[in-house]
Structure 1
């Protein structure tokens, strides 16, 4: 079954591959998804929801095995300070549940920041908007689809 994220890519004529993996609701770590897909952790990207003190909500797309560099994201997003939003707010802001958040098709259009490490791969895996489904897509076309800004935001 296609997700809204997949439909958005199709509407923009962006090629992608839909990948499926078994979900363990007790372990939603992006690294587990990478392991189940047989992909390096660096090639699978998770989408984190953050809030800046000036610009409000934004999305940070970083490798599965990385931590978000809050200072770098603040600088890139023209904020003095950025924090990840509490988990209880994620679904209300994005329309997606933990383990299925994607920058494609959120409830509102938020600024998207993609870690520069994505550019070292021909294709990266990002959430398709549903647990257990990932989109394998070119980082360049993904950046275009989400109107993202590329920069060093991961540690």
Structure 2
């Protein structure tokens, strides 16, 4: 017996995911307005990645690989974040020709504000869901994010 047709089309789900992502970005931006923080999603992601390297600050090449972009794109992002005082370029102590990127105190406080705004935006968006629905949604999202079929 053939499986039943899904009640929601894949294209409709795709559109809903895009709309939800946009809504999340708008809500996060709203929660940051009073802080006068204006970072792009790509800059925010770069800050999170730099913070991930706790022991040794990453090289530009490490960042390009993690962001899956060409090194020139990372240079542009780092330039903007450096101009805002969020990161700084530092020479590698083992090889002075290698430049590493580290968070500044401003970058760390900006990252805390970004995370707080993201949590507040998520709370706002998830407010209509019950605890059980949030649990189910979390499991579904984990399956989609971590599942097979899409290169990371």
| TM tier relative to shorter chain | under 0.3
Higher-Rg member (1/2): 2
Larger helix percent: 2
Q: Which has the higher contact order (CA 8 A, sep 6+)?
A: 1
TM-score, normalised relative to structure 1: 0.23
TM-score, normalised relative to structure 2: 0.24
